Amino acid sequence: DGSRLPLVITPDGTALVEPEDAELAARVGLATTPTADFYDLVVVGGGPAGLGAAVYGASEGLRTVLVERSATGGQAGQSSRIENYLGFPDGVSGSQLTERARRQAARFGAEILTAREVTGLEVNGAARTVLFSDGSAVSAHSVILATGVSYRQLDAPGLAGLTGCGVFYGSALTEASACQGHNVYIVGGANSAGQAALYLARGAKSVTLLVRGPSLSASMSHYLVQQIEDAPNVFVRTGTVLDAAHGSEHLEQLTLRDVASGHTELVDAHWLFVFIGAAPLTGWLEGTVLRDGRGFIMAGPDLTPDGRPPADWDLDRPPYHLETNVPGVFVAGDARSESAKRVASAVGEGAMAVMLVHRYLEQS
């Protein structure tokens, strides 16, 4: 009757009312439960770093299981065109790149579980155990944390349904060519928003920055503020927030609100980029794995700034380069403190972490 949605009808006619992701994934043939109790390697996260780790781990003979909370691909999977990944001179769509990686990992024998969120990590002697939200668990000799970052979502009516259809989070600069000649809006007043505004202004008709605060200078570097002032087609609306997004198949209009007066205005807009910060969502590692002040996972030399190993470290050697304060638990990609935030570096760190897993297994 339309009140309990979504409704999914499977090919055999079964009706699933408001199914959980895991139930839906299982019904469409995706693996959601591990086939074994114990592995050589558990990879947490199915973005470029996790997929890289799964490809190298499985191809080098490690019994590998990858656990992804939604679908594989990560942030890269949302990118319409990755232009700077080695070997693709004409660019490659992020979903194509990561889908190929998923198939490659599976072909080498990695188990890939989707719609399974990891919510805890335990050390049980030599075993490293990751816990799932339903209370089940899987253990291994080693773990690679490749959970990336999640862009903070803007909470305004209409936005969620238009994400990917004119509304983008984070460094979606690959969309720039599609914005040629259009009016573009950007939410955010920090450097990432400023850089994106200047980049998009090269081709867009106009770029308007929507900033909640009274000026840009408190949140953005001086050089960027100056460049924005000098750019003829970049405009700044301070004291302005986004109230709603409108459109059926693609973004069409935005409702903007003046914070001081409460006055609202409807503007035509086909492109909206949101730059309100990214967070690594690593709260579930609290008490086990050390993180920096912003929640990014610390590893290797960052754990020994004064030459001394971290507290409770009981091995004769210092942590390997991508190893956390828990021996045998490694980190790769955007989730790592001070990481490069690039597809190539995430894949590279996934491969390197596997090399270090081998070294760890040989010595333990």
Q: How far is CA 223 from the centre of its chain?
A: 29
Q: How far is the CB of 71 from ligand FAD (least distance, A)?
A: 7
Q: In this structure, what token pair is assigned to residue 153?
A: 């979502």
Q: What is the DSSP string of 157-200?
A: TTHHHHBTTTEEESS-GGGGGGGTTSEEEEE--SHHHHHHHHHH
Taking the C-alpha atoms of residue 305 and residue 221, their distance in angstroms, rounded to an integer, is 29
DSSP state of 296: P
Phi, psi of 259 (to 5 degrees): -60, -40
The residue range among 32-40, 81-89, 209-217, 225-233 that interacts with ligand FAD, by the rule CB under 6 A, is 81-89
Q: How far is the CB of 50 from ligand FAD (least distance, A)?
A: 5
Q: Does 281 bind ligand FAD (CB under 6 A)?
A: yes
Using the rule CB under 6 A, is 325 a contact of ligand FAD? no
* Measured distance CA(130)–CA(122) in Å, rounded: 6
* Residue 166 binding ligand FAD, by CB under 6 A: no
Based on the shown chain and the rule CB under 6 A, indicate whether residue 348 belongs to the binding site for ligand FAD.
no
Does position 82 interact with ligand FAD (CB under 6 A)? The reply is yes
Pick 63 or 81: Cβ nearer ligand FAD? 81
Per CB under 6 A, the list member of 30, 42, 118, 193 interacting with ligand FAD is: 118
- Position 152 contacts ligand FAD (CB under 6 A): no
Residue choice 159, 210, 346, 352 for contact with ligand FAD (CB under 6 A): 346
| Residues 215-254, mask of contacts with ligand FAD (x by CB under 6 A) | ----------------------------------------
Contacting ligand FAD (CB under 6 A), which of 25, 43, 46, 57? 46
Stretch near ligand FAD under the rule CB under 6 A, chosen from 34-42, 57-65, 164-172, 229-237? 164-172
- Contact with ligand FAD (CB under 6 A) among 110, 343, 353, 357: 343
- Classify 196 in phi/psi space as left (phi over 0), alpha (psi -120 to 50) or beta: alpha
Q: Does 170 bind ligand FAD (CB under 6 A)?
A: yes
CB 16 within 8 A of CB 27: yes
User: Could you tell me the smallest distance in angstroms from the CB atom of residue 19 to ligand FAD?
Assistant: 19
Own/partner pairs, 321-325, CB within 8 angstroms, 24+ separation:
321/352, 321/356, 322/349, 322/352, 322/353, 322/356, 323/299, 323/356, 323/360, 324/145, 324/289, 324/290, 324/297, 324/298, 324/299, 325/289, 325/290, 325/298
Opening angle at CA 246, ends 243 and 250, nearest 5: 135
Alpha-carbon distance of 46 to 140, in angstroms, equals 17
Any contact of residue 351 with ligand FAD (CB under 6 A)? no
138 vs 172, which CB is nearer to ligand FAD? Answer: 172
Amino acid at residue number 158: G
Helices of type H across the chain:
21-27, 48-59, 94-107, 159-162, 191-201, 222-230, 343-363
Q: Among 64, 114, 139, 171, indicate the residue that binds ligand FAD (CB under 6 A).
A: 171
Size of the site for ligand FAD (CB under 6 A): 39
What is the nearest approach in angstroms of ligand FAD to the Cβ of residue 56?
14
Query: What does the binding site for ligand FAD look like in residue numbers (CB under 6 A)?
Result: 44-50, 67-70, 74-76, 78-79, 82-84, 117-118, 146-149, 168, 170-172, 174, 281, 333-335, 341-344, 346
